[in-house]
Amino acid sequence: MLGVFLDRDSLDCGDLDFSGLDRILPDLRYYPATTPDQVAARIAEADVVISNKVVLDATALHGAPRLRLICVAATGLNNIDLAVAKSRGVTVCNCRGYGTAAVVQHVFALLLALVTGLPDYRRAVREGHWQRASQFCLLDFPIRELAGKTLGIIGHGELGRGVARVAEAFGMRVLIAQRPGAVEEQEGRIPLPLLLPQVDVLSLHCPLTLETRGLIGAWELALMRRDAILINTARGGLVDEALLADALRQGALGGAGVDVLSLEPPVAGNPLLASDIPNLIVTPHCAWGSRESRQRLVGQLAENIAGFLNGALVRVVG
């Protein structure tokens, strides 16, 4: 079987072991990256296609008559036309849970940096303010404790549950939002309009769907406390970025830490990249990127292909 990996460099920094994948699919061709105009030629004869972010739309899928399996090197499936894949009898598998430890760690890296004023204090030392201080310490920026604060979580899957466990270890109270778009009330979950005014921190962990796009907009931001902190390590499209930037400038929100933007990379700019936004930390979609996380992902790709070949499918979508 011929396999093609369309964008290996999207997860490999030269530090990963692909031998397990190569043993299962010896005829696997690796491409560092694939542009839209290269997709058709590269998958035309393939039986198995691995893609992280390369789009496999209807045109691409119809141009690959031998295609039997698509392995997404991620959890999100926005880049795959699932309806066409299903109509063509193409199995689609994704990867799940590989980055939980890394993402949970990043959530609290962002949150702790914001509540401790870490970027401000680091800058103060670099600029010599501590060296010129009249006392032994510098307390120019507010420091807040997480203990006793309330964390709201939207998206209570594996990532949301992982964040909740760490939050409880910090002594935080955890509230879980009702699933966006849910018709019936869910036990143990709180409708978003009731949850938002209660939280000191809101952390997003839901997928980007029709129901969740623009989930945090003007109305939702207005419901949040003025000193609340928003953390988004899920998808940029969940938040109205221009309104978030304005809320931070106006002091209508206490801070934000985001690892995702609506367009990545932000080649056309983004409202959250402006230099005048206070109490904002933006990182470049790297929350998932520990070496351990990326190696687990490669292992899951191998398991998905082996399961397909052996007739014991795992992580099938739909």
What's the number of CA atoms in the CB half-sphere (13 Å) around residue 161?
3
* Cβ 95 vs Cβ 72: under 8 Å: yes
Q: How far apart are CA 248 and CA 168, in angstroms?
A: 27
Asked if 88 and 61 touch (Cβ cutoff 8 Å), the reply is: yes
Residue entry with tokens 């004023």 = 117
Q: Does 156 participate in catalysis according to the annotation?
A: no
DSSP code of residue 196: G
- Measured between alpha carbons, how far is 224 from 202 in angstroms, rounded to an integer? 9
The answer to whether 45 is a known catalytic residue is: no
Q: Is 235 an active-site residue?
A: yes
Collapsing DSSP to helix, strand or coil, 93 comes out as: strand
Active-site residue (options: 235, 294, 296, 315): 235
- Do residues 48 and 305 touch, judged by C-beta distance below 8 A? yes
CA of 83: how far to CAs of 5, 34, 61, 89, 286, in Å? 22, 23, 11, 10, 30
Q: Residues 145, 211, 264, 292: which is the catalytic one?
A: 264
Orientation of helix 100-116 relative to helix 158-169, angle to 10°: 40
Residues noted as catalytic: 235, 264, 285
